[in-house]
Amino acid sequence: MTNVEIFSPSSVLYEEHMGREPIFNVWDNNSGVFSVIKDRIESGQVSIDGALRTANGFFESPDPAIVKTGTHIYRVCMWKDPSVADEWMTKAPVLLSHPHARIRHSAIWNLRTASWQNARLGAVGLEFAQKGLKDKDPGVQRASMWAHGDFVVNDPNLFSPAYDSLSQFLEENPKESNYLFALERFFRSLKAVHGNGPRFLDAVSRMRKASDGYPGLRARSAVLLDDNLSTSELETDMVLVSKKYRKAVSNTNLDNIPTDKSFIFTAKDFQDTKTFTRGIQDLKLMKYLVWLSEDLNEPFEILAQTLTDKRDGDLARSASVIMNDCTIRKPDDLDIPAVKAVQSFFEQSDIDGSQIIVQLILDPVRHASHASQKEVGAVMPTLHKYAANGSVSFTLGNY
């Protein structure tokens, strides 16, 4: 058996990508050593103990990318050996205080992984996630919201404290992005294990009323309430979408910006994006354009190609949210492209969080025509086959 400890912190090198620090793409970055270690752990070429010794050594590095590599090693080991979850809980407190936000984010993510391997760890994990909601970094806040949902799924007794802390966070931070993340990552989980209880109905109904200007948020709220968007709601939001789109255009320095409701981005334009910032700017415009355009086949295809681009996981996940907007609007028109895009992604990605977000593209199709439902049903065995772990399998079975 190969000894993974041949990798010292000084040998862990990652290239910068899209103008971002290497730490933002450790899992998919083939220029570094994590992919090598992960493959050897999963194939059994290295022992769990050897891998964890290496990870613990990485935690001593001053380089945040190396520290994050250590957290990823622990995550792989937890899914391989559930007993590692207990050891992770002894490492979490220090890493949750790390000065780099991406380390704190990764530490929270490992807490949710631990709860899937041992439900009794959810209570302690929830305490950390509640503190994470107060973190100054939005990414840590979102990871903490997500973890709240996992803790409730794995231990329904945590419903009340998780619901209370998340409700308080949303009341104090009433932003569209927070509502969207809470809906998809907490309230969907809550519905799966608790159904439509009074507090669930009240919270989702309030978010539906507060989602003026982004039809996608209101539509997602309606689905969770087993309802449909009313004509008046959609008309109100469409007026605001037009205003937001014009404002977004005026605030960007991009060339060749569409000024009407036509979608003029091409796949090559978007895929040639050199920086993450430019990519996010493009996606923000697409987010509005998919609600202002009638023919969504072109934007959906552009976004689908982004899913399999491993330059940046955050960019791909952001694209998948807009693809979900497309299928909300045109579920029957996009049923086959949606199934193909999600299947292709599952076959190429082993990141559980990305798989969970991407499969939501199919959610509107599942509730569309009988023919569309059949398309989704036919691909489900393949998605389960490529599911990264139990949390993805749960999502596929309940959402």
The two structure tokens encoding residue 236 = 């109100």
The two structure tokens encoding residue 11 = 């040998």
Q: Which residues contact 60 (CB under 8 A, 6 or more apart)?
A: 9
pLDDT for 378: 95
pLDDT for 241: 86
pLDDT for 115: 97
The one-letter code for the residue type at 84 is: V
Taking every pair of C-alpha atoms in the chain, what is the biggest distance, in angstroms?
65
CA distance 138 to 108: 13
CA distance 87 to 26: 22
The two structure tokens encoding residue 365 = 């199709």
pLDDT for 127: 97
Q: Nearest 5°: CA angle at 244, between 242 and 246? A: 70
Q: Nearest 5°: CA angle at 194, between 193 and 197? A: 160
3 state DSSP class of 345: helix
pLDDT for 152: 94
Q: Which helix (H) or strand (E) is 205 found in, with range? A: helix 198-210
Q: Where are the domains of the chain?
A: 252-398
Q: Which residues of the chain have a pLDDT value below 70?
A: 1-14, 30-31, 212, 252-272, 399
pTM over 0.85: yes
| Half-sphere exposure at residue 50, Cβ-oriented, CA atoms within 13 angstroms | 16
pLDDT for 9: 55
Measured from the Cβ of residue 107, the count of other Cβ atoms closer than 10 Å reads 26
pLDDT tens digits for range 107-122: 999 999 999 999 999 9
CA distance 198 to 313: 36
The two structure tokens encoding residue 19 = 């103008």
